[in-house]
Amino acid sequence: MKNFILIVCLVLVYAGCSKNDGSGSSSSSDKLATGASAHDFLSGEVYTTVTIQVEYSPGMQPQLQSINNLISFLQAHLNKASITVTQSPVGSIGKSTVSINDVSSFEDKNRTAFTSGSNMAVCILAVDADYTTPGVAGVAYRNTSLVMLEKTIEAASGGLDQPSRIKIETTVLEHEFGHLLGLVNNGTAMVTPHEDEAHKPHCNNNNCLMYYDIENSGFMSQLGNAVPKLDDNCINDLKNNGGK
């Protein structure tokens, strides 16, 4: 049995802005800090639809059920008329261990869907690499971007006494998207204080999806087959910021 500690990290990245000329090039509105677009995701005031672009390295395509679980999660919390997902293969990221700078550069070379008009675009990268911090399985690093470290996910799933790959992928996707939605106290204000002061920006409830240690493989095994859910405090925060 392999023992991996999978820690979900939120990394705040302030990237340089580029001009949005409407031609499909990168947009400054998709290069803001994580959580900066929380209200836009949650409410239907400006953006009525969401398009999620999943780009995966060779052999790293997320499980279809994991993607469907993410859609269900978003439908439960976002005031959007539609949420659609496209998946497309991209090349290898070219390194066995990657930093946020590596991931950001890879996105800039491959991303083709950008926020425009009434549609918000999200880029999810599924890369053939581990993170510079061992055990990290996913990172939300821009306001509309997150990465899944699929090598780490594969190594920590499917074996004896290990969670399934779908469970880990679903947990990573939903947790990291929770950070895009401003949880906890990072773009979406708290109705009731519940931020873990020692592990910002995470929830202090160890049964909540946004708990910092939720992806520790041993911790997840104790939870059975169910993917952790947002607790009432996190849900109330999302509702207060325009969500369902």
List domains and CATH numbers for the chain: 12-240 (3.40.390.10)
Per-residue pLDDT of the chain (244 residues; tens, 9 = 90+): 444 344 444 333 333 222 233 334 456 799 999 999 999 999 999 999 999 999 999 999 999 999 999 999 999 999 999 999 999 999 999 999 999 999 999 999 999 999 999 999 999 999 999 999 888 899 999 999 999 999 999 988 888 778 889 999 999 999 999 999 999 999 999 999 999 999 999 999 999 999 998 755 445 555 556 899 999 999 999 999 999 9
pLDDT at residue 75, rounded to an integer: 98
pLDDT at residue 15, rounded to an integer: 31
pTM attached to this predicted model: 0.88
pLDDT at residue 180, rounded to an integer: 98
Q: What is the DSSP string of 60-98?
A: -PPPHHHHHHHHHHHHHH---SEEEEEEEE----S-SEE
Backbone angles phi, psi at 183, to 5 degrees: -85, 140
Q: N- to C-terminal Cα distance for the chain?
A: 41
Is residue 2 within 8 Å of residue 131, measured between CB atoms? no
Give the three-state DSSP class for 192. Answer: coil
Distance CA 39, CA 21 (A): 24
pLDDT at residue 28, rounded to an integer: 79
Q: What angle do CA 61, 173, 171 make, to 5 degrees?
A: 110
Which residues have a Cβ under 8 Å from the Cβ of 238 and sit 6 or more positions away?
42, 77, 181, 183, 188, 230, 244
